[in-house]
């Protein structure tokens, strides 16, 4: 089905489905660090719309709460309080702005040198594989619910027709949710207690955060990891949509859009946002790549953040139900990385390429951590940095 010919109703339904995919992670981050989940959802929607404005509405991306900042936010809030930490998020935005300017200045030559396919392919694979543990942890809360959700999503994806074919995620979640209700795993009391409408508390009592240099500088090194992940995500969505978003609208625009979205999040009381791999996974399996559908997801996020009862209902979806869906979505991201390597004909008969790809994957999946004082780098950011350095220092032709 050509997503350009989808009716407005179908685009809306698929857009809401994409929000469901992002919802769990978007509200989980603020819950872990002590921020308001509804503010995070609101800022994710606003940030996504800002991103689409800056990127000329061309890139089918949704921005949600970044997991890379969980530990730094906890550490910063313990030292400088949450208001100072929110002000420190402006340092994240500054890093994005600087990288955007560098990319605009040096252009594709810089990108091609730093991020050839042998680096980008494994990084994209790692984006999916590194999140697989999160999917399993969510699913193991109740494997029965997880498998029901996963099985229904796979069946709809394989055998669904028409509109149903576009809704494997929402069908899986509904099936798992119904099963959870039947098993007594859903508590509706929070829904009954929630107000119908309520703006996030930080927005109701809005005031500019007092600027402090310490958290501002503290957050900047962590942003480098998010920047590297951003590059991998843009290459991933380019592969999924079969369009080169690195060239048009340009990586400098996507970086700028992400940076402005992070700045907006700091003002709105949400955590820094990042390009969401799980939504890219949903785009991959549904083949709906129209950016307008992602903007619908963004508007839905803003609406859901102010509808208290609906927000409570969505937060009541059991983690196992979402985990079953994530097992499919995160794996699909890893497959995009494999496709990237195949499409660019990366020669693994060349020792150099084997070394780079192998160390990227083992560093990222193995959980290596680089620590210097209060700064630490791990996961996708560290693995991508290692791959970047190896690509620069290893000779173009190693002994076979």
From the number of C-beta atoms within 10 Å of its C-beta (0-12, 13-18, 19+), residue 374 rates as exposed
First to last CA, the chain: 46
377 CB-near residues (< 8 Å, 6+ apart): 221, 222, 224, 225, 369, 370, 371, 385
C-alpha closest to that of 394 among 357, 368, 367: 357
C-alpha closest to that of 293 among 40, 10, 1, 44: 10
- Whether the CB-CB separation of 63 and 44 falls below 8 Å is answered with yes
**Pairwise CA distance, residues 74 & 78, whole Å:** 6
What is the Cβ-side half-sphere exposure of residue 212, based on CA atoms within 13 angstroms?
A: 18
Q: What is the pLDDT of residue 400?
A: 46
- Whether the CB-CB separation of 59 and 52 falls below 8 Å is answered with yes
pLDDT band at 376 (very low <50, low <70, confident <90, very high): low
Q: What is the pLDDT of residue 51?
A: 97
Q: What percent of the chain has pLDDT over 90?
A: 30
Q: What is the pLDDT of residue 207?
A: 67
Flag whether the pTM goes above 0.75: no
pLDDT band at 10 (very low <50, low <70, confident <90, very high): confident
Confidence check: pLDDT of 179 > 50: yes
Widest CA span in the chain: 68
pLDDT band at 258 (very low <50, low <70, confident <90, very high): very high
Instruction: Name, of 22-26, 51-55, 72-76, the range with top average pLDDT.
Output: 51-55
* Alpha helix (H) residue ranges in the chain: 8-33, 37-54, 70-106, 108-114, 117-129, 132-139, 143-159, 168-182, 189-193, 201-204, 213-241, 251-268, 277-286, 291-306, 308-315, 319-343, 351-366, 379-393
Confidence check: pLDDT of 3 > 70: no
Confidence check: pLDDT of 2 > 60: no
pLDDT per residue as tens digits for the range 208-227: 666 778 888 878 867 776 78
Confidence check: pLDDT of 360 > 50: yes
- Whether the CB-CB separation of 62 and 294 falls below 8 Å is answered with yes
pLDDT per residue as tens digits for the range 266-288: 899 899 999 987 788 888 888 88
Phi, psi of 295 (to 5 degrees): -70, -35
Confidence check: pLDDT of 246 > 50: yes
Range of lowest pLDDT (75-89, 178-192, 304-318, 351-365) = 304-318
**Pairwise CA distance, residues 16 & 136, whole Å:** 24
The residue that leads in pLDDT, 98 or 190, is: 98
Confidence check: pLDDT of 70 > 80: no
- Mean confidence (pLDDT) of the chain: 84
Q: What is the mean pLDDT of residues 247-252?
A: 92
Instruction: Name, of 114-118, 145-149, 198-202, 203-207, the range with top average pLDDT.
Output: 145-149
**Pairwise CA distance, residues 147 & 153, whole Å:** 10
Tell me how crowded residue 377 is: count the other CB atoms within 10 A of its CB: 21
Q: What is the pLDDT of residue 60?
A: 95
93 CB-near residues (< 8 Å, 6+ apart): 259, 260, 262, 263, 266
Q: What is the pLDDT of residue 399?
A: 47
pLDDT per residue as tens digits for the range 125-151: 887 787 788 789 889 999 999 999 999
**Pairwise CA distance, residues 262 & 40, whole Å:** 11
**Pairwise CA distance, residues 156 & 159, whole Å:** 5
- Whether the CB-CB separation of 126 and 362 falls below 8 Å is answered with no
Range of lowest pLDDT (118-122, 129-133, 149-153, 296-300) = 129-133
211-214's contacts with Cβ under 8 Å and 24+ in sequence apart are 211/87, 211/90, 212/80, 212/84, 212/87, 212/88, 214/79, 214/80, 214/84, 214/88
pLDDT per residue as tens digits for the range 336-350: 788 888 888 899 989
């Amino acid at each position: 089905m050509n997503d350009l010919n989808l009716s407005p109703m179908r685009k809306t339904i698929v857009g809401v489905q994409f929000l469901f995919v992002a919802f769990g992670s978007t509200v989980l981050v603020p819950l872990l660090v002590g921020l308001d989940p509804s503010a995070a959802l609101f800022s994710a929607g606003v940030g996504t719309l800002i991103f689409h404005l800056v990127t000329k509405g061309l890139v089918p991306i949704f921005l949600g709460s970044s997991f890379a900042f969980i530990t730094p936010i906890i550490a910063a809030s313990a030292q400088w309080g949450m208001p100072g930490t929110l002000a420190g998020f402006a340092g994240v935005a500054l890093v994005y702005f600087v990288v955007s300017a560098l990319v605009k200045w040096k252009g594709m030559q810089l990108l091609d040198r730093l991020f050839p396919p042998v680096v980008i392919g494994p990084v994209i694979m790692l984006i999916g594989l590194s999140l697989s543990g999160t999917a399993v942890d969510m699913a193991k809360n109740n494997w029965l619910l997880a498998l029901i959700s996963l099985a229904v999503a796979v069946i709809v994806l394989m055998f669904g027709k028409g509109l149903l074919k576009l809704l494997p995620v929402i069908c899986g979640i509904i099936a798992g949710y119904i099963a959870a209700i039947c098993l007594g795993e859903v508590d509706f009391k929070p829904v009954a207690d929630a107000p119908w409408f309520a703006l996030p508390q930080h927005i109701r009592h809005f005031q500019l955060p007092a600027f402090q240099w310490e958290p501002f500088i503290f957050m900047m090194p962590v942003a480098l990891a998010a920047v590297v992940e951003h590059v991998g995500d843009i290459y991933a969505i380019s592969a999924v949509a079969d369009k080169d978003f690195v060239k048009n609208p340009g990586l400098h625009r996507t970086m700028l859009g992400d940076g402005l979205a992070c700045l907006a999040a700091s003002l709105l009381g949400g955590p820094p946002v990042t390009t969401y791999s799980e939504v890219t996974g949903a785009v991959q399996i549904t083949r709906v790549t129209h950016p307008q559908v992602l903007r619908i997801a963004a508007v839905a996020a803003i609406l859901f953040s102010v509808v208290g009862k609906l927000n409570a209902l969505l937060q009541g979806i059991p983690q196992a139900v979402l985990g079953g869906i994530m097992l499919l979505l995160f794996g699909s991201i890893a497959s995009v990385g494999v496709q990237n390597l195949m499409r660019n004909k990366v020669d693994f008969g060349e020792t150099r390429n084997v070394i780079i790809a192998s160390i990227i994957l083992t560093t990222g999946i193995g959980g290596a951590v680089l620590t210097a004082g209060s700064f630490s780098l791990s996961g996708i950011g560290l693995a991508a940095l290692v791959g970047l350095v190896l690509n620069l220092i290893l000779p173009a032709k190693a002994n076979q």
